[in-house]
Amino acid sequence: MDRIRIVGGQALNGVIQISGAKNAALPLMIASLLTQETLTLENIPSLADVGMLLRILGHHGVDHSIDGRRLGAAPHASRAIHLTAKTIVDTMAPYELVSKMRASFWVIAPLLARMGEAKVSLPGGCAIGTRPVDLLIMALEKLGASVEIEAGYVHATAPKGLIGAEIHFPKVTVGGTHTALMAASLAKGHTLIVNAAREPEIVDLADCLNKMGARIKGAGQSAIEIEGVGALSGASHSVLPDRIEAGTYAIAVAMASGDVVLEGARADLLQSALDVIEQAGATISVTNEGLRVRRNGAGLSPVDVTTAPFPGFPTDLQAQFMALMTKAKGSSRITETIFENRFMHVQELARLGAHIRLEGDAALVEGVDELQGAPVMATDLRASVSLVIAALAAQGETMVNRVYHLDRGFEHLEDKLGGCGAIIERLSGAG
C-alpha cells in the first residue's frame, strides 16, 4: 500500500494548477444516464472516484472514451470524457459497486426518470457518519415514485413516469438536491424544490442539464423551479474548478509560508473560507490566472470557525483548517455542524504534537510552537490531506499511511506540492 513521505520546513513558492471539481464531476457523469446521446464533460480530474464511477456507469450500459489534454488548452484544463448511455442494460446497481462509493447511489434518479424503475443498493455506513438517504427517497416519492426497501435495496418504480411536485427539504441536502434535479428534469409538469442546496456544484449540474435541454431556473438559490421535458439531448460541458482543492492549497501555503498562484481557482466559489484564511494571517488576491496566496512566515492568528452549507465555511475544509490552527498563537474553536464523526483526524494530529480537545461537535485547538514529524494514518479523504498540511510545517519526517484516501479526491497532490518546493514523495507498495 502506498505511503507519502514528507520532510517539513520548506516554504511553498510557485504555481499550482487547480483541477476540475470532484464533487461536480460525479453528479455530472451520473447525468449521462438521462439521455441516449453523448454527454461530453471537459476538465474531469484523474481520480480514483472518477475511475470507480466509470465502472459503475458501464454496468448500466454507459460507453465512454477519454481524451487527453488538448493541444493549446489552458494549463489547468484536464481530460475530457465522452459518455453515451444509448441503451440502459441494467437498472439495478448492486451492493458490491454502490458500497465502494456513496455518490453512486444517485444513479437511482436518472434510471428511474428514464426507465421507470431502478433498484439500487443502500450505500451502507461511512467513515464520517451515516449520511442517510431518506431525503433522497422522499424527493422521489414526492415526484410520484413508489419506493420499497427490501433486503438492503431501494426499489423505486414509476411505470407511467414521474410527475412534477413541490419538494420541501427539512434540511439542506446536496445529495437530495442533485437527485431531485435529475429526476424532475424528465418529470411531467412543474417541480419546485424548497430549501435546496446552494453549492456551486449544484449550479454546475443545473447548467449542464440546461445545455441538455432541461428547463431549470434558480439553481444557486434556496428555491429551484424545473419544468419537465420529454427527453434530454447530448451536450458539452466543462466542470468547474475544485473549490475544496483550492482552499486546501491556500491553507497549505498559510501553514508552510511562501507565495503560490492557484491557477484556475475562483474566489467566488469559496469566499467564506478565503476570509477565514486571511484572518489567520495569509494574504490572498485575485489575479488573471486565479488566486495568489502569500504568507511571510509571521505568526498565525487563531480563528473560530463553524461549518455550514454554502455559502458558509465548507465542512470539506474543516480538517485542513484545524491543521492550520495547531500552529496558531492562541486558542481556536472549530465547530462541525454537517457531519458527525468528522474529527477522526484529531488523534493523528496529536501524534504530530498538536493540542486538541473535543467537546461534542466542537474541537478546541491550542496552538503549539512546533509540530514534530511522526508516522500517521489517514482515515478519510479530508482527514488525510490535513495530515499532509501539518507535515509541511512539522520538524523532521512524517509518513502518511493509507494514502488511497488522498487519491480519491486530490489529483497529483505530491507533484503539485513538490513543484512548489515541498519535500514530498510517494513510496509505492510500502507499508
- Tell me the mean pLDDT in the region 167-186: 97
3-state secondary structure of 282: coil
Report which residue type is found at 291.
L
DSSP symbol at 176: H
Does residue 294 have a known ligand-binding role?
no
Q: Let me know: does 158 contact 193? Beta carbons within 8 Å.
A: no
Helix (H, G, I), strand (E, B) or coil at 225: strand
- On whether both 12 and 68 belong to a single domain, the answer is no
User: Last residue of some domain: 222, 238, 254?
Assistant: 238
Asked if the model's pLDDT at residue 9 lies above 80, the reply is: yes
Band of pLDDT at residue 124, cut at 50, 70 and 90: low
Q: What pTM does this model have?
A: 0.94
Domain total for the chain?
2
Q: Taking residues 160-172, report their average pLDDT.
A: 97
CATH number at residue 326: 3.65.10.10
Do 247 and 264 have their domain in common? Answer: yes
The pLDDT score that the predictor gives to residue 70 is 55
Helix axes 271-280, 243-256, angle to 10 degrees: 0
Residues 228 and 359 in one domain: no
Which pLDDT does position 81 carry in this prediction? 97
Q: Write the single-letter amino acid at 257.
A: S
What is the residue-averaged pLDDT of the chain?
93
What is the Cα–Cα distance from 129 to 273, expressed in whole angstroms? 23
φ and ψ at residue 119, rounded to 5 degrees:
-130, 110
132 marked ligand binding residue: yes
User: Across residues 108-135, what is the average pLDDT?
Assistant: 81
The pLDDT assigned to 92 comes to 97
Annotated catalytic residue 126: yes
394/431 Cα distance (integer angstroms): 21
Instruction: Tell me, yes or no, whether 9 and 34 share the same domain.
Output: no
8 has a pLDDT exceeding 80 = yes
CA proximity to 24, closest of 174, 213, 143, 230:
174
168 and 308 in one domain? Answer: no
Domain extent, residue 70, equals 22-238
* Distance, CA of 96 to CA of 326 (rounded, Å): 39
Query: 238, 263, 278 — which closes off a domain?
Result: 238
266 is in an annotated binding site: no
Q: Do the Cβ atoms of 164 and 190 come closer than 8 Å?
A: yes
* One domain, residues 138 and 253: no
Q: Report residue 65: phi and psi, to 5°.
A: -140, 150
Q: Find out whether 23 and 43 touch, Cβ atoms under 8 Å.
A: no
pLDDT at 158 over 50: yes
Q: How far apart are CA 229 and CA 342, in angstroms?
A: 40
- Residue range 272-281: average pLDDT? 98
CA end-to-end span of the chain: 6
User: Considering 210, 238, 266, which residue would you say is the last residue of a domain?
Assistant: 238
* Alpha-carbon torsion angle 137, 23, 118, 136, nearest 10: 0
Does the annotation list 133 as a binding residue? Answer: yes
DSSP 8-state assignment for residue 12: E
Beta strands in 375-429 (DSSP E): 375-377, 397-401, 423-427
Report yes or no: 44 and 20 within 8 Å, Cβ to Cβ.
yes
Q: What are the Cα distances from residue 8, in Å, to 105, 281, 298, 400, 420?
A: 40, 20, 17, 13, 13
pLDDT value for 281:
97
Please give the pLDDT value at position 157.
98
pLDDT (average), residues 359-380: 95
253 and 156 within one domain: no
Rounded to an integer, what distance in angstroms lies between the CA atom of residue 245 and that of residue 6? 19
pLDDT at 73 over 60: no
Q: Assess whether 182 and 229 both reside in one domain.
A: yes
394-424 pLDDT, tens digit per residue, is 999 999 998 888 988 899 999 999 999 999 9
Do 169 and 88 lie in one domain? The reply is: yes
Q: Which is catalytic among the residues 74, 126, 149, 358?
A: 126
Determine what percent of the chain is predicted with pLDDT higher than 70: 95
Dihedral angle over CA of 246, 247, 251, 256, nearest 10: 0
102 is an annotated ligand-binding site residue: yes
